[in-house]
């Protein structure tokens, strides 16, 4: 039976990946940083024989033991900040080093199949591409551009490091899954910052909305893509943007408002000038202001063909998120 090592196993996406793996009959070993995180997963799958390894992305200890007996590495772990740090290296360093640490350990253990969780943020801000143009998997974000955040740079550089590594080790078979904004229901209430955007719509903390769009995908489809890649040798060597269709901030708000008429969800557009002015003083608005006038849509159609599924519509993913949150007291 194929054994899959899932790094960052207690993450929002990873918990769904583990569910998909178990349902399809794979053996699972998950990496976690504490017994508390292990307990979260055990609570979801009390009858599953999941193995665990205690690891830290920033340390070498334990990686060799974690890889022993594993057939597939599924590297989902990466820093996910609420806001950009003052020093971008606080994000970039752990993201790149953690990815290379996992790949080196896999290569040393003789593991050749790797599925890496990247992001659409590593795609949609290519230098020289017309800002209004839609992106494809052939595009790469410029990590040095002044309109690119530390998080976007970290995901881009980590993915580039992975592709460079497998180029140097041709026995390694890499597929990357590049999700947009991942919505949908969480497996439990320990979802960290992953549903922060949905929370902000639901609790009315966004009185006005910037004029920008974003690729959107349901977490269940992201998990399906990761697991589908194991049995799809034709996916080796390719990036797969995960995007059911871009939505504007106003369209997201409209979907949430229609599903929750009892909530005061604003669908008002914020003037671009106001957004730019706020970006001068409010750190969270700085990146938003950089996205004005830029099309962040990415073509995700390759994934449906490669993994033989149909995306959950973006608006349904929005509603699944907000419904989960509302049902759990948000």
| pLDDT-based confidence at residue 77 (cuts at 50, 70, 90) | confident
| Mean pLDDT of the chain, nearest integer | 93
User: 81: Cβ–Cβ under 8 A, 6 or more apart, which residues?
Assistant: 91, 150, 151, 193
Q: Is 23 helix (H, G, I), strand (E, B) or coil?
A: helix
CA distances to 82, 286, 296 from 149, rounded to whole Å, are 12, 9, 14
Do the beta carbons of residue 223 and residue 20 sit within 8 Å?
yes
**What pLDDT is stored for residue 81 in this prediction?**
63
**What pLDDT is stored for residue 274 in this prediction?**
85
| pLDDT-based confidence at residue 12 (cuts at 50, 70, 90) | very high
Residue 330 has pLDDT above 90, yes or no: no
**What pLDDT is stored for residue 162 in this prediction?**
98
| pLDDT-based confidence at residue 82 (cuts at 50, 70, 90) | low
Task: Give percent above pLDDT 90 in the chain.
Answer: 79
| pLDDT-based confidence at residue 275 (cuts at 50, 70, 90) | confident
Task: Give percent above pLDDT 70 in the chain.
Answer: 98
**What pLDDT is stored for residue 211 in this prediction?**
92
* pLDDT tens per residue, range 92-132: 888 999 999 999 999 999 999 999 999 999 999 999 999 99
Q: At what angle do helices 35-44 and 12-23 cross, to 10 degrees?
A: 50
| pLDDT-based confidence at residue 83 (cuts at 50, 70, 90) | low
**Using CA atoms, how far apart are residues 194 and 210, in angstroms rounded to an integer?**
20
Residue 50 has pLDDT above 90, yes or no: yes
**What pLDDT is stored for residue 243 in this prediction?**
98
Has 155 been annotated as catalytic? Answer: yes
**What pLDDT is stored for residue 192 in this prediction?**
82
Residue 84 has pLDDT above 80, yes or no: no
Q: Which token pair is 165?
A: 């590594």
**What pLDDT is stored for residue 25 in this prediction?**
96
* pLDDT tens per residue, range 297-309: 999 999 999 999 9
Q: At what angle do helices 272-279 and 283-291 cross, to 10 degrees?
A: 140
- Residue listed under structure tokens 């719509």: 201
Do the beta carbons of residue 88 and residue 143 sit within 8 Å?
no
Judged by average pLDDT, the poorest of 63-77, 88-102, 162-176, 277-291 is: 277-291
* pLDDT tens per residue, range 137-175: 999 999 999 999 999 999 999 999 999 999 999 999 999
**What pLDDT is stored for residue 111 in this prediction?**
97
**Using CA atoms, how far apart are residues 291 and 303, in angstroms rounded to an integer?**
26
Q: Which residue has the higher pLDDT, 52 or 273?
A: 52
Catalytic residue among 15, 38, 125, 155, which? 155
Runs of H (alpha helix) within 122-248: 150-168, 196-202, 219-230
* pLDDT tens per residue, range 214-268: 999 999 999 999 999 999 999 999 999 999 999 999 999 999 999 999 999 999 9
* Terminal Cα distance for the chain, rounded: 41
Q: Is 82 exposed, middle or buried (0-12, 13-18, 19+ CB in 10 A)?
A: exposed
Task: DSSP letter for 238, please.
Answer: -
């Amino acid at each position: 039976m194929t054994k899959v090592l899932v790094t960052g196993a207690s993450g929002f996406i990873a918990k769904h990946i583990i569910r998909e793996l178990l349902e399809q009959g794979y053996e699972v070993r998950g990496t976690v940083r504490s017994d508390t995180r292990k307990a979260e997963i055990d609570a979801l799958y009390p009858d599953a024989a999941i193995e665990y390894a205690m690891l830290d992305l920033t340390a070498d200890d334990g990686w060799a033991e974690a890889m022993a007996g594993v057939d597939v590495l599924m590297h989902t772990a990466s820093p996910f900040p609420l806001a950009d740090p003052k020093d971008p290296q606080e994000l970039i360093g752990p993201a790149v080093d953690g990815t290379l640490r996992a790949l080196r350990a896999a290569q040393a253990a003789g593991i050749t199949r790797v599925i890496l969780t990247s992001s659409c943020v590593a795609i949609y801000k290519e230098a020289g591409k017309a800002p209004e143009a839609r992106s494809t998997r052939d595009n790469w974000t410029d990590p040095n551009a002044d309109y690119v955040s530390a998080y976007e740079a970290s995901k881009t550089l980590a993915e580039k490091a992975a592709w460079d590594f497998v180029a140097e080790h041709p026995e390694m078979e890499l597929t990357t899954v590049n999700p947009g904004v991942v919505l949908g229901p969480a497996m439990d209430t320990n979802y960290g910052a992953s549903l922060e955007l949905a929370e902000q719509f639901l609790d009315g903390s966004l009185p006005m909305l910037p004029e920008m769009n974003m690729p959107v995908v349901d977490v269940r489809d992201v998990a399906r893509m990761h697991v589908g890649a194991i049995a799809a040798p034709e996916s080796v060597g390719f990036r797969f943007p995960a995007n059911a269709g871009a939505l504007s901030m106003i369209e997201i708000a409209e979907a949430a408002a229609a599903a929750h008429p009892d909530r005061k969800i604003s669908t008002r557009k914020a003037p671009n000038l106001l957004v730019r002015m706020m970006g001068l003083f409010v750190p969270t608005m700085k990146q938003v202001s950089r996205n004005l006038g830029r099309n962040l849509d990415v073509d995700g159609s390759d994934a449906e063909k490669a993994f033989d599924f149909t995306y959950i519509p973006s608006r349904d993913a929005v509603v699944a998120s907000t419904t989960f949150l509302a049902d759990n007291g948000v």
